[in-house]
Amino acid sequence: MSSLLHITNGDVFTEKLKSLNLKGDIITWREMLCEGKTLTSVGSETFWKTRFEFLNKNYHVSKSWFIEKTLKEYRSLCNHKQQDEIVLWFDYDLFCQVNMIAVLSWLKTHRRYANISLVCSGEAAGDAKMHSLSELDNDQLLKQYENKIELTQDDVEYADYVWQLYCSDNPIRLENLSDYSEFQFDYLSGAIKSHLHRFPSIKNGLNEMENGILNLAKNQKFADRTTFLADILQNQALLGFGDTQYQRAIGRLKPLFSSFKPVRLSKKGKEILDNKTSYYSCIQDNNVYLGGALKYNFLYNTESDRILKL
């Protein structure tokens, strides 16, 4: 077994990484901790039970799939005990950054003396567009690998601290973080800001992403739901969500559309988008968590850029 271990952000990139023929074993972190309830004790029985219940209820993930794809890979990570050098490959977006801090929290507890490095993407290609690791060519990836960031113990402790706050029942504690620049996580501040923007707006009860979906439907013409979804995925900024996550979001907003072929907002949808009325009471769900916090127990004030507790 190699003394080097790579932990990646998903299957697509794992396959790409294999083609680079780097030394070391590869583990794929198959989770989406940016959605659903999370617990601080990453890898515990209660943690995985909570995650399975969320994925099963909301994404129809079967027990056999969860065991085969997620738990087997996690057990493989647990069995890689000898590696003294661990390289994390995670993108700049919310989806990956939340997974990254969870993995670092686990490593802090279970691999305390390992040398941990981070390879991220973002501005790696040298142009204005942010790029995921999967979008980089092999030469660019090798360059990123050569320039990987060696995390200090303080960096790891900080990532664990942010994870603890992400899993707390009050996002206001996370909102008050201001010392990101003292640590080696270039994209964590932006990801956490995107996370806080997922709480419902005080103006109309929809969050930034949901308002963005309605805005797109109002300002552009889409022949059908498929082309609409493709455009949403293309222009989602720092979220990094997949199509199934947006399908669920569109499902929640379905009453605000009069048609999906072509895509058109209803009269009510336009009124809510113009902040003439609120959709809060219609969309409120007391079982929806963002990290450790109940989504609809808080409101986001777009003018003061602050979270309010109800």
What confidence tens digit (pLDDT) does each residue in 61-70 have? 999 999 999 9
Evaluate whether residue 244 is within a structural domain.
yes
What confidence tens digit (pLDDT) does each residue in 87-141 have? 999 999 999 999 999 999 999 999 998 999 999 987 765 677 888 999 999 999 9
Task: Tell me which residue range forms the domain holding 75.
Answer: 4-188
Rounded mean pLDDT of the chain? 95
CATH number of the domain where residue 180 is located: 3.40.1360.10
Domain boundary among 121, 155, 188: 188
What torsion do the CA atoms of 194, 198, 199, 201 make, to the nearest 10 degrees? 90
Give the pLDDT band (50/70/90) at residue 2: low
Q: Averaged over 41-49, what is the pLDDT?
A: 98
Distance CA 248, CA 294 (A): 18
Evaluate whether residue 200 is within a structural domain.
no
Lowest mean pLDDT among 69-78, 130-139, 205-214: 130-139
Same domain, 15 and 143: yes
Evaluate whether residue 202 is within a structural domain.
no
Same domain, 182 and 226: no
- Looking at residue 128, its pLDDT comes to 73
pTM: 0.96
Looking at the 3D structure of the chain, how many domains does it have? 2
194 contact partners, CB below 8 Å, separation of at least 6: 93, 94, 208, 237, 238, 239
